[in-house]
Structure 1
C-alpha cells in the first residue's frame, strides 16, 4: 500500500505511518455512569497514555490526536476550567510517558490563547522530548483546521510582502510549499483518521492534510478505546485500496 511504512507486525498487518484520532465521547462516557463530565476527560487522558504506548510499540511513526479545538472554548466555563486543570496535570505526566516509549512530543494549534504557564508547559514538553528518536506524538490544542489555514496564509503573505515577491513568484506557489506554512510542516499527511463515539463529522480537523486520508468510525467512546479497537481500525485500513484520485488497479 502507498504511504504505509515497511513495518509488519507479528500478525502480518501493515502499520500506517501516520494515524490521527478524534477523541470523542468523554462526556457521554461520564454521563452514562452518573459522573461529572470532568471524570470522562480524566479517563480519556488515561486511555490516551495507553494508546501512545501501543502505537509506539506497533511502529506507528506519527500519532496525532485532537485534544482541544478552537470551538471548545464555547463550552461552559466550568468544563473549560476543568479541562485546563487536567491539561496542566497531564502535561507533566506526558513527559514521563513519552520518555518511557522514546516518543517525541509536538503541539499544533494556536497556543497564544492559553495561560502563560500552559504555554511554558507546552514548550517544556517539546524541549524535554526533542532528542527522542521513536514515534512523534502530536497533540492538537486550541486547534481548528480553518484557523490553521488562515494563519498559514497570513504567514505566507507577510513573508511575501517583506521579501518583495513578484506577482509571478506568488502565482508560482505550490501545494507543497504552502504545506510548509501549516502547523504540520515537515509531517506526512495522515494515512488513517479514527473517530470514536460513532459521530460522522470531520469537526474542522486536518482538513488540508486529510484530503486522501482513510476514515474509520467506531461507536466505542474514547475512554473505552483500547489496543483491540486500534487493531480493528488498522485491519480495516489494511483492506482498503488507496487510489489517491487514480483508477482502481485490476
Structure 2
C-alpha cells in the first residue's frame, strides 16, 4: 500500500487493525502454516524475473507474520525451500540462496518486528545442504532471537517432511539403544519428541490453487488440522485472503464446542 497517499495509508492501517481486533475476539489458531506457492507464476504474470517473484514472496511472509502476531497466533511455520528445490536450474537455486542469505542477514540488522512481538526464529531442515554462507546467516539469525519466548517463526529450509520423520525415527532408535531400551518400547510420543517442530497444527494454508501437501508437516497434520487452499499466488496473499480462512476456522471451533456441550 506504499503507493498510496500517506493519509490513505493511515486509514488503511486503521481499518486493518479494526478488522484484526474483531477477529481476535473469537478463537485464534495457535499454529498456522503456509505453503508459499506461486512465486514463479506470479513473476511470469508480471513479466518479471523469477527472482522478483521470490523476493516479493518474502515481503508477503513478513506481511502475514505481522498479521498473525497481531492476532495472537503463537507459532507461524512457512515452507521456504524444499530439499527437492535443489533440482531446479542452477540460476534459480543460486538466486534463492542469495535471497535467503540476504533476508536472514536483514532480520539480524533490522529485526524490529521479531523483537516487538518476542519472536524466536527457527530455521528447520537439513541446513548442512546450504552453502556455508547461508548456514552462517541462519545461525546468526537464530542466535539473535534465542531469548525471545512469546511467539515462534519456523522457516522450513531445506526441508521435507519425509526427511524430518526419517531423522526423528533414527534419533529415537539411537536414543533407545543408548538407554538400552527394547525397540518395542518406542512410541509415537518418542518420535514426536524428536521432530523439528512438535506443536499441533491448527491451520495449513497453500496458495496458488495447487491442492497437495508437497511433503510438508505430514506428521504434524492431525485430525483437527484445517487444510485450506486458495487460488491467490503467495506474493499477493494478504489479510483479505486470510479473513475467510480464519472465519471458517472460528466457525468450526464453535461448532465443535457446541457439540461437546450437547
Kindly indicate whether the alpha-carbon contact (under 8 Å) linking 2:201 and 2:222 is maintained by their aligned counterparts in 1.
no
Q: Distance in 2 between matches of 1:92 and 1:120?
A: 9
State how 1:14-25 maps to structure 2 within 5 Å: 14-25=27-38
The match for 1:143 is: 159
> Partners of 1:180 and 1:242 in 2: how far apart?
30
| 2:44 matched residue in structure 1 | 31
Q: Distance in 1 between matches of 2:63 and 2:95?
A: 22
Match of 1:107 among 107, 112, 123: 123
User: What is residue 188 of structure 1 aligned with on the other side?
Assistant: 199
Matched with 1:199 is 210
| Structure showing the higher strand proportion among its residues | 1
Within 1, Cα distance between the matches of 2:38 and 2:65? Answer: 18
Contact 1:111–1:142, Cα closer than 8 Å, also in 2: yes
Q: Which has the higher helix share?
A: 2
| Cα shift at 1:160 | 2.1
Change (3 A) 1:155 1:194: same
Secondary structure, in 3 states, of the residue corresponding to 1:139?
Answer: strand
Q: Residue 216 of structure 1 aligns with which residue? A: 228
Cα distance in 2, alignment partners of residues 243 and 182 from structure 1: 31
1:47-87: CA deviation from partner (whole Å, max 9, x where unpaired): 11111111111100000000001111111111000000000
Task: Write the distance in 2 (CA, Å) between the matches of 1:149 and 1:177.
Answer: 12
Q: Secondary structure at the match of 1:220?
A: coil
Separation in structure 2 between the aligned mates of residue 101 and residue 229 of structure 1, nearest angstrom: 23
Distance in 2, matches of 1:234 and 1:102, equals 23
5+ unaligned residues in a row in structure 2: which ranges? Answer: 1-19
| Paired residue secondary structure (1:68) | coil
Residue of 233, 238, 241 corresponding to 2:250: 238
**Are 1:77 and 2:90 an aligned pair?**
yes
Q: What SS is found at the alignment partner of 2:66?
A: helix
How much does 1:35 deviate? 0.8
1:152 aligns with 2:162: no
Calculate the TM-score normalised by the size of structure 1.
0.88
SS in 1 for 2:158: strand
- What is the aligned partner in structure 2 of residue 88 from structure 1? 101
1:190-214 residue CA offsets vs partner (Å, 9 max, x unmatched): 1000110111001000000003211
RMSD: 2.0
5+ residue gaps, structure 1: 1-7
Structure 1, 93-102 or 228-237: larger mean CA deviation: 93-102
Match for residue 61 of structure 1?
74
1 CA distance for matches of 2:239 and 2:70? 11
TM-score by length of 2: 0.84
Further displaced range: 151-160 or 75-84: 151-160
- Equivalent residue of 2:178, what SS? helix
